[in-house]
Amino acid sequence: MEGDISVGLKAIGAGLAMLAAIGPGIGIGLLAQGAMQAIGRNPDAGGQIQTNMILAIVFTEAIAIYALVVALLIVFVL
């Protein structure tokens, strides 16, 4: 396998695919920001806010997972 260029190219492809994790990273940060501010304003509603935040984070995370799936496919299947 040494010197086999296809392995190297696959690695580059997987690395590029994971760049897509920037988006959900920023998105989750924004979600958390909103949640923190809401809890700060209304600490009693903390439980509800937290539950809804977790739900929203799961959806945002899914996009990063799509990128991870593509990266894994590139490395292990292609």
Partner 1 sequence: MSPRIRGLIYFVGFLAFAAIFCGLVPFLLMPSIGAGVALPVIEVPGEVVQEDLLPGFNLTNSIIGTLVTDFLLILIVFVLWRLSRGWTKEVPGRLQGMFEAFVSGFRSFSSNIGGERLRTTPMLWPLVATIFLFLLTANYMKLFPGAETVGKMHCAYEGQSGYSMIPGWTDSSYRLWVDESLNAGSSQTAETYDLCNYYFKYGEFSRFPVESVEEIEPQVEAAQQAVTDAERELADRTAALAGVLESLDADESNWSDADRDSVNEAEAAVLEGTDDLARAERALERQQIRLEAAQQIPALEAELEEVTSQINLLDDSAVRSELDRQEDLVDEPRYAAAGFTLAAAEGVADAVALAQERGATSGDDLSEVLSDLRSERSELEEELNFQRTQMQFPTATLTFTESQLETDAVPFIFHITPFVRGPATDLSLTIALAIFSIVVVQIYGVMALGPAYFEKFVNLTAIGNVGKRPLGVIDFIVGLIEIISEIGKIVSLAFRLFGNLFAGGVALMAVTFLLAMLVPGVIYGLELIIGAVQALVFAVLTLVFSVQAMEAHHEHPDHEEHDEEHHDGDEQATSRLHSDASLT
| Of residues 2-41, those binding partner 1 (CB under 8 A) | none
CA distance 27 to 57: 8
CB of 8 to partner 1, least distance (A): 16
Give the distance, in angstroms, between the CA of residue 10 and the centroid of all CA atoms in the same chain: 21
| Region near partner 1 per CB under 8 A, out of 7-15, 23-31, 32-40, 45-53 | 45-53
Report yes or no: 69 and 78 within 8 Å, Cβ to Cβ: no
Residues that bind partner 1 (CB under 8 A): 1, 42, 44-45, 48, 51, 54-55, 58-59, 61-62, 65-66, 68-69, 72-73, 76-77
